Amino acid sequence: MPAERFDFPNAQGQKLAALLDRPVGEPRAYALFAHCFTCGKDIHAAKRVAEGLTALGIAVLRFDFTGLGSSEGEFANTTFSSNVADLVAAANELRRRARAPAILIGHSLGGAAVLAAAGEIAEARAVATIAAPCDPTHVAGLFKDRLDEIAATGEVEAMLAGRRFHISRAFVNDLAEHKLLARIADLRKALLIFHSPTDEVVGIENASRIFAAAKHPKSFVSLAGADHLLSRRSDAAYVANVVHAWAERYLDVAQATAEMPHDAKTVVVPRPARAAFSRRSRSASTASSPTSRSRLAVSTAARVLTICCLRG
């Protein structure tokens, strides 16, 4: 099915350019994708992951953050907080047009943004990050030699990925205000962390800290050999296949709960909400950290996922 292009307003009323990739037939679920810092919805990683998920029955909304790509606004006036607000606005628009996103996916700083926004999107059941930093301030390392100048003058023009961007003091100050690890600890959604052990932009230690901060269910998948931008088509396809197989578990749990028959003679004792999101499991010890020797085996043909994932 052809992708649907449309605009939706951000919190300031500026139009953000969006692209909704739909599968043939009714989507199994909807996902929302957040692109990397200074990138856009059409970057190879976003496009290829969306194509892979669409082929597997999941619709994907991707959009350009304010001031980037075809969206309105000035990048110099944006912050990490405005990125988070853009994500919430995108989820609201998707809810209005079709169905709220059950899956949130973020790449690099977009991964940090979906972690920060997840609590404001109630319908989201699963969050996947790709090469995400554990702290938004990590992005300041891209222009660390200009930080004193930014503090003194209020704004500088920096060269990032071969393009010029205006970086403001407000942007830098806003980064420091976000305590992302605390939000991760209170995420209360299934979390899947993708990271390459050889990522030269956002080191693997970021994945370790995100994993350590999160409560179960949480999983880690090593993107061995992949670069930060997920440039190889095969790496993006792999991410799409694993996200699909992993997310099915949480989509099915929601459906099973909704469809559970009610028997007047049966007393159902609900599990305490926080018990499902704990750092330890009493039933097994198969969780994997980015630094462990656990291996992941995925059979795409059979759609069988063997993954280190605990439901506490």
Number of domains in the chain: 1
Residue 302, in any domain of the structure: yes
Range of the structural domain that residue 109 is part of: 4-135+178-306
Q: Are 132 and 111 in contact (CB under 8 A)?
A: yes
pLDDT reported for residue 293: 34
- What is the average per-residue pLDDT within 299-303? 37
- Chain segment 46-97, per-residue pLDDT in tens: 999 999 999 999 999 999 999 999 999 999 999 999 999 999 999 999 999 9
Residue 236, in any domain of the structure: yes
* Phi, then psi, of 145 in degrees rounded to 5: -75, -5
Predicted TM-score of the model (pTM): 0.83
Residue 234, in any domain of the structure: yes
Residue 172, in any domain of the structure: no
Residue 163, in any domain of the structure: no
Q: Say if residue 152's pLDDT is above 60.
A: yes
pLDDT reported for residue 298: 39
Considering only 166-170, 175-179, 283-287, which range has the smallest mean pLDDT? 283-287
Residue 146, in any domain of the structure: no
Residue 282, in any domain of the structure: yes
Element containing residue 57 per DSSP (H, E): none
pLDDT reported for residue 1: 63
We report the CATH number of the domain holding residue 218 as 3.40.50.1820
Q: Counting runs of H as helices and runs of E as strands, what totals does the chain give?
A: 8, 12
* Phi, then psi, of 221 in degrees rounded to 5: -130, 125
- Chain segment 6-59, per-residue pLDDT in tens: 999 999 999 999 999 999 999 999 999 999 999 999 999 999 999 999 999 999
pLDDT reported for residue 267: 39
CA atoms within 13 A on the CB side of 36: 23
Q: Say if residue 309's pLDDT is above 50.
A: no
pLDDT reported for residue 53: 97
Q: Are 290 and 193 in contact (CB under 8 A)?
A: yes
Question: Who wins on pLDDT, 256 or 187?
Answer: 187
The percent of residues above 90 in pLDDT, for the chain, comes to: 77
Distance separating alpha carbons of residues 307 and 309, to the nearest angstrom: 6
pLDDT reported for residue 162: 78
Query: How confident is the prediction for the chain on average, in pLDDT?
Result: 85
pLDDT reported for residue 300: 39
Residue 106, in any domain of the structure: yes
